Structure 1
């Protein structure tokens, strides 16, 4: 059943988030207020080295107080395409410039509460160009064997939805 949106009102807005309340009809005249978050799209990259390894960052997420591996990913800036953002984020967060990127997957990581959309690309190869520009993004950057992906998911060392989707997709499709 398709929900009907009668109105949306902002509750809080800044440059990163637009939190709203929507008056929605969910069928048979039943209406409710539903909170939602609108945000800019994100883009990320899976960088492979051709030797069976993937470049990941190891970082802490204060909101959940957890550590985990992630692919480099961030917001698509004004005037930037998702593929340009993925290349920029990869280089800024890892110090590695990706080879030619190609689309890997598109995901809506929290469609029940947010319109966030993530565009993930993959590159076969990367060139080390220096230290990460955003050194505060992670504790370390490392090449991790793709064969370890299921183990890392099982051990909760990969928990972010877009990272997990991308890595398991690459693992499953070779």
Structure 2
């Protein structure tokens, strides 16, 4: 097996949320160059909340892409928090629902070619309404029939990569 060799790293930018580095890399054929790498200091979580053949989704706008779309609750793990704790907290903060059970679906690296970031995907059930959704997170929160998800994906209504990965993995494995 062949793999890339990292000879060094030069930090270009850093904040509490992320850093951008130029890594001095060598590919298996011997070519050496600088490669941009985005590093996030905290892993993130995303949750497919299901009840009665429905999934809890948030309709939101992302200014970075200029797109509206359906997303599942997601966010970063804070210091001292397990991925499960973060997943439950983010779900409640963003949607106003707190699941009573949660299990790991899988772990992904959403942009593995340029980022070291990890996202833990979960499936949760037993959602109890505890309050209202955060209007800064979503224009609306709705329970959507799972059998409508493939058509929504085809129509481009689920543009978020993490949401796509979580929903399609869940639908494939359920």
| Band of TM-score, shorter chain | over 0.9
Query: Does 1:34 find its partner at 2:58?
Result: no
In 1, Cα distance between the equivalents of 2:169 and 2:113? 22
Match of 2:173 in 1: 173
Show CA shifts across 1:41-95 (max 9, x none).
Answer: 101111111x110001010011110001111000110111111000000000000
Match of 1:48 among 50, 60, 66: 50
Show CA shifts across 1:12-37 (max 9, x none).
Answer: 00011110000000123210100010
Contiguous gaps of at least 5 residues in structure 1? none
1:123, distance to aligned residue in structure 2 (A) = 1.2
Secondary structure of the structure 2 residue equivalent to 1:151: helix
Secondary structure of the structure 2 residue equivalent to 1:116: coil
In 1, Cα distance between the equivalents of 2:29 and 2:121? 39
Query: Does 1:94 find its partner at 2:84?
Result: no
Superposed CA RMSD: 0.9
Report the TM-score, using the length of structure 1 for normalisation. Answer: 0.96
1:163, distance to aligned residue in structure 2 (A) = 0.8
In 1, Cα distance between the equivalents of 2:13 and 2:30? 28
Query: Does 1:17 find its partner at 2:15?
Result: no
In 2, Cα distance between the equivalents of 1:172 and 1:115? 26
Match of 1:137 in 2: 137
In 2, Cα distance between the equivalents of 1:24 and 1:169? 33
Match of 1:122 in 2: 123
Residues 44, 85 of structure 1: 8 Å contact kept: no
In 1, Cα distance between the equivalents of 2:155 and 2:67? 12
Report the TM-score, using the length of structure 2 for normalisation. Answer: 0.96
Aligned positions, number: 172
Contiguous gaps of at least 5 residues in structure 2? none
In 1, Cα distance between the equivalents of 2:14 and 2:108? 24
* Poorly superposed stretches of 4+, deviation over 3 Å: none
Residues 147, 171 of structure 1: 8 Å contact kept: no
Secondary structure of the structure 2 residue equivalent to 1:109: coil
